[in-house]
């Protein structure tokens, strides 16, 4: 059973507009969430994270929102730039899980000029 779900395999956005990537989870024990970005032929790189004690974390153009009651988080990119075109993975972990980070399947974002 998939514990971290990214239901949109792809998303296309116009440059300058907002990109919203969504992620749902089923395990109520998850207490830390991360977003990774992956370009072709490269490994994933850490983008932003949020602890379950918060509902929002912001870093420049990137903001992650966490809705614990809905078991849902989202990544907002404002404004979107062509260089943001990549695959974005949502990941989650539970304290005491011995380091097992559970990843979603990823969403491919295309930002068109």
Partner 1 sequence: EAQVTQNPRYLITVTGKKLTVTCSQNMNHEYMSWYRQDPGLGLRQIYYSMNVEVTDKGDVPEGYKVSRKEKRNFPLILESPSPNQTSLYFCASSLFRGGNEKLFFGSGTQLSVL
Residues that bind partner 1 (CB under 8 A): 6, 31-32, 34, 36, 41-46, 49, 51, 89, 91, 93-95, 97-101, 103-106
Distance from C-alpha of 3 to C-alpha of 5, rounded to nearest angstrom: 6
Q: Would you say 13 or 92 has its CB closer to partner 1?
A: 92
| Nearest Cα residue to 34 out of 42, 26, 19, 45 | 45
Q: Would you say 14 or 45 has its CB closer to partner 1?
A: 45
Q: How far is the CB of 104 from partner 1 (least distance, A)?
A: 6
Q: Would you say 69 or 100 has its CB closer to partner 1?
A: 100
Q: How far is the CB of 9 from partner 1 (least distance, A)?
A: 8
Distance from C-alpha of 43 to C-alpha of 41, rounded to nearest angstrom: 7
């Amino acid at each position: 059973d998939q514990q971290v779900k990214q239901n949109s395999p792809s998303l296309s956005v116009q440059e300058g507009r907002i990109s919203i990537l969504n992620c749902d989870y089923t395990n109520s024990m998850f207490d830390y969430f991360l977003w990774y970005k992956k370009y072709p032929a490269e490994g994933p790189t850490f983008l932003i994270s949020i602890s379950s004690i918060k509902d929002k974390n912001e870093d420049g153009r990137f903001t992650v929102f966490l809705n614990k009651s809905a078991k849902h988080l989202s990544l907002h990119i404002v404004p979107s730039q062509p260089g943001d075109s990549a695959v974005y993975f949502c990941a989650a972990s539970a304290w005491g899980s011995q380091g097992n980070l559970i990843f979603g399947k990823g969403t491919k974002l295309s930002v068109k000029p």
